[in-house]
Structure 1
């Protein structure tokens, strides 16, 4: 590649290489503190490099304290929004992310590779932005209508979810393997 690089660029590359070699011991020490580890494995049938790091244990939920004085008087309409269903998501000890995949002589990198591991599932409940549900309430002769969002999930609402990311990654890898 030397015929295509000017002497100034070559000099800059040499100084950059020296700086990188100088900084490597410090970086290795800092990386060891975080617990970040890399491993080589297969992903979708291709050689891949994954990063893994410990997931911090979540803090316990805080408990509400009782007020010493009475709070403000509230109106009606308590609990008019349908609560989201509880989804048991077990605690994961390590955070895993795909850093690179080797397809033939192509190295695929970028944040898209980590999305299938980071995004929530399409079945994750959320409130709809397009569908509503009316709730009617009559208190002391006063009729109230509450227009509340309906319960939906990420896939039904069209949000990009884990399954969609997997489809995109698979399409990219199959296109590259066909070249």
Structure 2
């Protein structure tokens, strides 16, 4: 495989063929975007990660990836840029005394946690996840990371669903997305 960074047009074409859509999952009216076809194609995944590195700030020290697909994409992205990786987990998945934040979802509440002592004050940190939709989980992850007194360089997503208001939940946070879709 070439080490060249693919163009935006090449990435657009690649993602059109490597993201599956499932209507009415997990509930009626929702169109689920599944990244599994991308993940199973090593060359396509590598091309996306390589392209994605051109969209994020320089000098990122840590990527915080949100469970679960933020782990799958954030870890190789961190590896590619030479940054550390910190998992933002669902409640009850971390040992010790993790830092946690409860937040509202469209259908209830959820809690996200970071490992205790996982980020040092002032660390240059990027939040990564697969999808920006309504923005609740991303906003909670940013807020929780800020409790560690880190410098949030931004939030970056593989896919953004335009029109669902996700950007509005992240005021003042620089955002980047690999692929933007109409809702």
Is TM-score (shorter-chain normalized) higher than 0.5? no
TM-score by length of 1: 0.20
Decide which structure has the larger Cα Rg and report it.
1
Higher helix share: 1
TM-score by length of 2: 0.20
